[in-house]
């Protein structure tokens, strides 16, 4: 391999994105790389030559194990949109200047759809200008919406948190058994793809009936039918728990959370999702008179490393290591994919796929995995998702709370 490499993190953090950094580091050192640098706050920080030497944190096995148990983005993330190459060459020239200044031959970027677009554009610029540097994407997103790969690191742990928390909410909501039902509406992340909300189905087990209904953004949301379903459930149940995606839309194309108010837009033009459950709880209370409450899992579902899936942790490490191997083999403009090889027992390998087939493509929950009434998931979805939430990695505790590795 080349002398030095750099790894960055971008977009919303996950419970296991740091495991991918650990995988990149460990494999690079195994191949004899001198310096493994980390971008401070992704490509945005890299443009300002903000990097750190990961030897300062990960030179010992204890450092790597601690990083696996640390939530959020250890290196710092960003939501920086790379501009089109044409007319903005100076920005791309700056990135290559920083790479050349530190003798960096390979760049690895951990992220989702927008991050893979960054890998694509850097690769395209290098190819067009005869640059030797190589670029490989490391998949990361709790939304599980990257194409080609069977699933995305980060999803399994978020799904485990959602299933676990919903079981607890269901138990809590059913505590009183009063004649007048209590309706609890739980809002789960997911703008256009409902993978996270679908994970609510995993709460169902021998000791839990699961949520009474699950609504994904893949289907048009009908408020009248939603209220009618709750009224029907209230005739036989004292506890009603509904899981709903933050991104559900009504027939005119508006998000439910947009009804009656304006929503902010981020750097990528994405509307900021929040308030769907609260809006629906107000509607249900007004139309039915039932007691309602809204719960928004928000960032908890992507930061809960204390209940991360061991399968997810291991696969996040695996794709980081595989990215380094791919670059060492001469590959560039690629993203590492997870390839399921079996379900009994569950097995998953990796391969490298052309980034141009992945960047800016969003994969949604297959329609055949959503029940006919649009309010639940099929057994096929559970067979797909259940293996991804298996196993645990016990946190390291001090003074009664988990210990994390923190960048200085």
The catalytic residue positions are 143
The alpha carbon torsion through 54, 57, 60, 62 (nearest 10 deg) reads: -130
Whether 371 contacts 381, CB under 8 Å = no
> Tokens representing 154?
């980060």
Structure tokens at 11: 């977009």
| 244: β partners | 187, 215
Q: Which residues pair with 107 in a beta bridge?
A: 6, 135
- Using only C-alpha atoms, the chain has a radius of gyration, in whole angstroms, of 22
Torsion of CA 384, 380, 375, 215, to 10 degrees: 20
Phi, psi of 340 (to 5 degrees): -70, 130
Q: How far apart are CA 383 and CA 202, in angstroms?
A: 10
User: E strands of 54-208, at which residues?
Assistant: 104-111, 134-139, 182-188
Whole-number Å distance between alpha carbons of 307 and 295: 19
Whole-number Å distance between alpha carbons of 341 and 348:
5
Task: Give exposure, 260-286, as e/b (b: 16+ Cβ within 10 Å).
Answer: eeeeeeeeeeebebebbbbbbbebbee
Buried b or exposed e, range 115-137, using 16+ CB within 10 angstroms: bbbbbbbbbbbbeeeebebbbbb
Residue 331 burial by CB count (10 A; 0-12/13-18/19+): exposed, middle or buried? middle
Packed helices 223-234 and 276-288: angle between N→C axes, nearest 10 degrees: 60
Preceding peptide of 59 cis, ω within 30°: no
Taking Cα atoms as reference points, which of 404, 219, 198, 397 lies closest to residue 301? 198
Host H or E run for residue 240: strand 239-245
DSSP structure string for 198-215: HGGGGG-BTTB---SEEE
């Amino acid at each position: 391999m080349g002398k030095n490499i750099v790894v960055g993190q971008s977009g919303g953090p996950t419970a296991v994105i740091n495991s991918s950094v650990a995988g990149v580091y460990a494999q690079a050192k195994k191949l004899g790389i001198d310096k493994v640098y980390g971008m401070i706050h992704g490509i945005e920080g890299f443009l300002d030559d903000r990097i750190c030497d990961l030897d300062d944190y990960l030179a010992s096995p204890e450092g790597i194990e601690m990083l696996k148990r640390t939530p959020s983005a250890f290196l710092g993330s960003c939501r920086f949109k790379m501009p089109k190459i044409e007319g903005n060459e100076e920005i791309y020239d700056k990135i290559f200047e920083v790479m050349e200044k530190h003798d960096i031959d390979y760049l690895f970027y951990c992220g989702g759809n927008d991050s893979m677009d960054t890998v694509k554009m850097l690769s395209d610029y290098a190819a067009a200008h005869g640059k030797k540097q190589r670029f490989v994407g490391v998949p990361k997103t709790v939304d599980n919406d990257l194409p080609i790969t069977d699933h995305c690191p980060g999803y399994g742990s978020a799904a485990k948190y959602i299933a676990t928390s919903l079981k607890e909410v269901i138990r809590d909501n059913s505590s009183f058994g009063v004649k007048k039902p209590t309706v609890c509406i739980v809002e789960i992340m997911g703008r256009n793809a409902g993978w996270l909300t679908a994970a609510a189905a995993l709460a169902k087990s021998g000791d839990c009936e699961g949520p009474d209904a699950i609504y994904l953004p893949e289907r048009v949301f009908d408020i009248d039918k939603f209220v009618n379903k709750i009224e029907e459930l209230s005739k036989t149940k004292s506890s009603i728990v509904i899981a709903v995606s933050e991104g559900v839309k009504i027939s005119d194309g508006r998000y439910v959370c947009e009804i009656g108010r304006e929503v902010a837009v981020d750097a990528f033009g994405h509307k900021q999702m929040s308030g769907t459950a609260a809006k629906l709880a107000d509607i249900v209370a007004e139309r039915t008179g039932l007691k309602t409450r809204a719960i928004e899992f928000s960032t908890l579902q992507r930061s809960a490393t204390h209940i991360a899936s061991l399968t997810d942790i291991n696969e996040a490490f695996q794709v980081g290591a595989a990215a380094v191997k791919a670059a060492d083999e001469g590959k560039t403009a690629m993203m590492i994919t997870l390839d399921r090889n079996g379900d009994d027992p569950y097995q998953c390998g990796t391969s490298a796929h052309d980034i141009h087939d992945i960047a800016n493509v969003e994969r949604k929950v297959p329609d055949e995995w959503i029940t006919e009434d649009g309010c639940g998931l099929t057994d096929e979805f559970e067979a797909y998702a259940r293996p991804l939430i298996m196993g645990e990695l016990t946190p390291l505790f001090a003074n009664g709370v988990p210990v994390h590795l923190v960048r200085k």
